[in-house]
Amino acid sequence: MRIIFVRHGETDWNLEGRVQGNANVPLNRKGLEQAKRVAVRLKNEKIDAIYSSDLERARQTAIEIAKYHKAKVRCSILLRERKFGELEGMPAQDYKKIRDETGIPKYLYRPPGGENYPDLQKRAEKFLSMIKKKHPGQNILVVSHGGVIRTFISVLAKKHISCAPEIEQRNTAVNVIEIRRGSPPKVHCLNCTEHL
């Protein structure tokens, strides 16, 4: 099985440095252009199934990519960004200050009403288990969010979840990971934005 993970294009909240989480912020003009560019980059890839977060920014990105493929976009709440609860919409610098003042490690900090990285890990493992059963040996495209993709990469690379927050994921970054039975996963590319 080969999985192509793509982060959504830019939103105004990305541009403003705000914590998005589950807020349903759409792509801005630049983000839509980024989505079109990543779609052209992936147009010659063999893609058997397309999964997307149901949040608008990811869904818009997936729809652009799907224009070049026969697979329809299937949305899953398992692919939603990490929930930041009461802190969604806050400037990222303010969020980091609040988090750091707790003294809790970055990956374990759970905002009020939100999730931490172990929570994301449970979602990622559930989704991976589902697609492995449903699409053995196929090529799957997953359009999601920075926090979720970092978690998938950690899980597939068998790294401790504490590593996830440090994995860089730019807007419309492409990550290609091949899962091989009896062998460690093979990483073909990580955080690649050469199409931009």
Query: pLDDT, tens digit, for every residue of 120-153?
Result: 999 999 999 999 999 999 999 999 999 999 999 9
- DSSP symbols for 99-130: HHHHT--TTT---TT---HHHHHHHHHHHHHH
Task: Report pLDDT digits (tens) over 49-106.
Answer: 999 999 999 999 999 999 999 999 999 999 999 999 999 999 999 999 999 999 999 9
Residue of 10, 64, 81, 115 marked catalytic? 81
168 tagged catalytic: no
The percent of residues in the chain predicted with pLDDT above 90, rounded, is: 97
Q: What single DSSP character describes residue 69? A: S
Residues 38/176, Cβ–Cβ less than 8 Å? no
- Its sign, for the CA torsion 129, 133, 134, 139, is positive
Known active-site residue 81: yes
- Per-residue confidence at 116, pLDDT binned at 50, 70, 90? very high
Query: In the chain, how many domains are there?
Result: 1
Domain encompassing residue 142? 2-192
At 13, the pLDDT band (50, 70, 90 cuts) reads very high
Task: Map residue 43 onto helix, strand or coil.
Answer: coil
CATH number for position 63? 3.40.50.1240
